[in-house]
Amino acid sequence: MGSNAIQQVPTNTKGATVPFWIDGKEVVSPRTFDVYNPALGKVVHQCSSATEADAQAAVDAAARALPAWRAMVPTRRREIFLRAAALLEARRDELVATMVEELGVATQWADFNINTARDFTLDVAGRIVTVEGSVPTPQDPNTGAMVVKEPFGVVLAIAPWNAPYILGTRSVIFPMAAGNTVVFKGNELSPKVMWGICSVFAEAGLPDGVLNYIVHSTANAAAVTSHLVASPHVKKINFTGSTLVGRAIGRLAGEHLKPVLLELGGKAPAIVWEDADLALAADQCALGAFLNSGQICMSTERIIVHRAVAARFEALFLAAVDKFFPAAGEAPLLIHGPAMEKVKRLLRDARDKGATLLLNGGFDDNGGVEGARPGVAAAPRLRPTIVKGVTEDMDIYRTESFGPTVALYEVGTEEEALRLANDTEYGLSSAVFTEDLRRGLRLARGIETGACHINSMSVHDESALPHGGAKGSGYGRFCASGLEEWVRTKTITYRW
């Protein structure tokens, strides 16, 4: 990776141990852990498991690469990003197969991940030259001043497994585009997928040490993460994941006075008003709730319907769910066992406290799993589940399920709808369905979320729009003008 020419790098680690990328080289650790395909219930490969020493090696490599990378003219950085985007397309079949192999997801979801990662990379390539300073006028006529933007330095990027090409790529391209170098801490459920991101950038000619990749077993998470955050070379952190872990990262970063961008969990509301196109609302809510088995931080978990159209909406919603996620098809997959147990616990608690199931996805029969074969563990699958009659004393009222569940509520006024929509610690995304744009904008302004989508689903992330949350869903923004997150402002004055 030492030059800007396209490099020949390994593109397939099938049957081998997934390595780290440190200083432009693949490093295989003697310490490994098993990686399971949840759909098959079996080990598909091993992955190197980082220690604090491996983490430090990655940080040191990033620190060494920083002076040359930050000094590189933006147009040359842009060329590398454009090559990386082209390689994401050229290697699509391989990268999609890796995600299916490792996570057991549908090919369509993996394909969508590649499309979005490529689009993000292209968009950021075009924005690299847009970071600019200013020349203000000081009070003293004999003094000049300038305000410049500088990269922070080494950035720690941590991304989750649920949309690994999208979220992994997003976590590294914005800091790198602004002139920072990166230590990328991958997820133990999708290490080979995230290795693929680094492989693409290496092949595109990214200089050695600009992007370094490590991953570790669950047992080493606290030690390795603490070491990385505490490192004097690491100047800023971005973390995408659960609110629980995000709070821990935020506390740790605060101890070391380091800025952190957090994109955390959500419990997105969708408000369906009486004048809405109910067929459109039903389709969008079905997709927003159950895409990727509801394992998206922006997934719709609460649908708040005007009671005048509640019965009609329910019928249309049930039909939409069956259209997109037919009962005759394979049940959606939850990536690992603990997720299934959490969803089952929330649904049992709601049922035991008086909620009813408008659609029972089978959480209470045979553990909600399918696909058991001799010698192979059953895959954790659960069909879409719709709950009615949820009250504040039920755990599902406030807890993010991160699974294929959604609760329906009925209201009569906008005030009721907003109170219910905002009665949560989360604030990532939301949706409003109405044919009255004035009402839609009024409700959108009243919902305490980082984004609100009028007449489209809550799951929405594109490179042209700022993306991030409010309240317990984090702070800071990816996408759009997100390069500003990765430069700090310096004021320089001078006397004539």
The angle, 0 to 180 degrees and rounded to 10, between the axes of the packed helices 191-203 and 74-90 is 130
Active site residue 79: no
Task: Choose the catalytic residue: 101, 203, 263, 301.
Answer: 263
Question: What is the residue type of 325?
Answer: F
Catalytic residues: 263
